[in-house]
């Protein structure tokens, strides 16, 4: 498997994992059912979003071909920086709000969360051709990694590891920035 694709999938799944931890922490019913439901919702959204971003990039391919690596780096660095910022500004461990006051997402709320965690993946969709893997394989890997991490996040959150949320987002942001830098190096952007 393409290492860059796997790292991209991990970085993009970090938001979903962080949200899944919170969902696991408030899950009161069957944790396996919740894990599968949240994992499937987030995985499907994360697979569709980069396809949309990639499709839009095809429409404008002639205009951006000479600078696509800079655009990819900029988008990944922007999304990664946003994730790091959001991870750093969250409540520190021990100061979280009472998880009993949160409500497990379902229905339209779960759809909305799925879209929210996949916006970064849409922006990253423009980078899919730079990975050297067929686009359909790339979106399948991104969706599968997100499904697995989200389902695991629910189960970990259920087990009391909610404090991992901000750190997961920070690491995911760093991974996206590193992938963006690798795109520049691979395209010999500096000469």
**pLDDT computed for residue 98 by the predictor:** 45
Q: Is the pLDDT assigned to residue 163 strictly greater than 60?
A: no
Mean pLDDT to the nearest integer, 118-126: 80
- Residue at 88 is within a domain: yes
Alpha carbon distance 162, 156 (integer Å): 8
**pLDDT computed for residue 103 by the predictor:** 53
Q: Is the pLDDT assigned to residue 161 strictly greater than 50?
A: no
- Residue at 127 is within a domain: yes
Q: Is the pLDDT assigned to residue 164 strictly greater than 60?
A: no
- Residue at 66 is within a domain: yes
Alpha carbon distance 88, 82 (integer Å): 10
Q: Is the pLDDT assigned to residue 102 strictly greater than 50?
A: no
Q: Is the pLDDT assigned to residue 104 strictly greater than 80?
A: no
Q: How confident is the model at residue 147 (pLDDT cuts 50, 70, 90)?
A: very high
- Residue at 98 is within a domain: no
Q: Is the pLDDT assigned to residue 101 strictly greater than 70?
A: no
**pLDDT computed for residue 45 by the predictor:** 93
Closest CA to 113 of 158, 153, 57, 173: 153
Tally of structural domains, the chain:
1
Which residue in this structure is represented by tokens 């931890």?
Answer: 21
Length of the chain: 191
- Residue at 20 is within a domain: yes
Entry pTM: 0.67
Taking a C-beta distance cutoff of 8 angstroms, is the pair 104, 26 a contact?
yes
Taking a C-beta distance cutoff of 8 angstroms, is the pair 45, 142 a contact?
no
- Residue at 191 is within a domain: no
For 35, the domain range is 3-93+103-186
Closest CA to 166 of 79, 92, 105, 116: 92
Alpha carbon distance 140, 131 (integer Å): 14
Task: Determine what percent of the chain is predicted with pLDDT higher than 90.
Answer: 14
């Amino acid at each position: 498997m393409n290492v860059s694709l796997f790292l991209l999938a991990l970085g993009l799944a970090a938001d979903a994992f962080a949200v899944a931890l919170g969902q696991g922490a408030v899950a009161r019913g069957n944790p396996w059912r919740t894990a599968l439901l949240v994992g499937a919702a987030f995985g499907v959204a994360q697979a569709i979003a980069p396809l949309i971003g990639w499709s839009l990039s095809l429409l404008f391919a002639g205009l951006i071909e000479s600078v696509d690596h800079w655009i990819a780096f900029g988008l990944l660095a922007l999304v990664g920086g946003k994730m790091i910022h959001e991870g750093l500004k969250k409540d520190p461990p021990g100061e979280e709000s009472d998880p009993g006051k949160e409500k497990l997402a379902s229905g339209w709320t779960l759809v909305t969360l799925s879209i929210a965690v996949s916006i970064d993946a849409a922006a990253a969709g423009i980078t899919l051709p730079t990975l050297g893997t067929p686009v359909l394989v790339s979106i399948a890997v991104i969706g599968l990694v997100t499904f697995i991490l989200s389902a695991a996040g629910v189960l970990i959150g259920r087990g009391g590891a909610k404090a991992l949320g901000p750190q997961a987002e920070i690491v995911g942001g760093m991974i996206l920035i590193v992938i963006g830098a690798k795109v520049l190096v691979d395209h010999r952007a500096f000469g």
